[in-house]
Amino acid sequence: MSYYFSKTVTMPFAAAINHVTNKLASKGFGVLTSIDVQQVMKAKLGTEFKPYVILGACNPHFAWRALQADDKVGTMLPCNVILTEVEPGKVEVAAVDPVASMGAIDNRELVQVANDVRRLLDEVVREL
């Protein structure tokens, strides 16, 4: 089982970030965090890295359901969506598969939440 699903889009990197953020919002997800990995690697290690951003996406409805089922599941939230520039004008977007990431937790309620979130994140990626 893969732990993510992805799609490559043809657009500038900054436009892809906005496009993905808007698509996530259309499915009820907000972006709680945005980490510019390229900038962090340059600042902390002095190394060059390709454009790479991690978006921490959260759908409050599903987060609430998950936290009600197991309050330690917060260690696995939010859902990460990454954008990587594979070449100028081409950006790979990959989203975590929450079913894969929560597979080690033996909780039927969490499995249902993870399946619901998986469906939405898969829609986000497919509809890009």
Burial of 107 (0-12, 13-18, 19+ CB in 10 A): middle
* 64-118 pLDDT tens trace: 999 999 999 999 999 999 999 999 999 999 999 999 988 889 999 999 999 999 9
Tell me the two tokens of residue 2: 């893969």
Domain boundaries, the chain: 4-127
pLDDT at residue 2 is higher than 80: yes
Read off the pLDDT of residues 24-45 as tens digits, 9 standing for 90 and up.
999 999 999 999 999 999 999 9
How far apart CA 61 and CA 20 sit, in angstroms, is 20
Give 68's contacts (C-beta < 8 A, 6+ positions apart).
109
- The predicted structure's pLDDT at residue 8: 98
pLDDT of 107-120, one tens digit each? 999 999 999 999 99
Confidence (pLDDT) at 103: 83
Owner of token pair 């937790």: 105
Q: Which of 63, 55, 128 is nearest to 102 (CA)?
A: 63
- Size (the chain), residues: 128
In contact, 128 and 19? CB cutoff 8 Å: yes
> What is the arithmetic mean of pLDDT over 52-58?
98
Q: Which two tokens stand for residue 91?
A: 């950006």
3-class DSSP state of 26:
helix
CATH number for 4-127: choose from 3.40.190.150, 3.40.190.10, 3.30.310.70, 3.40.50.150.
3.30.310.70
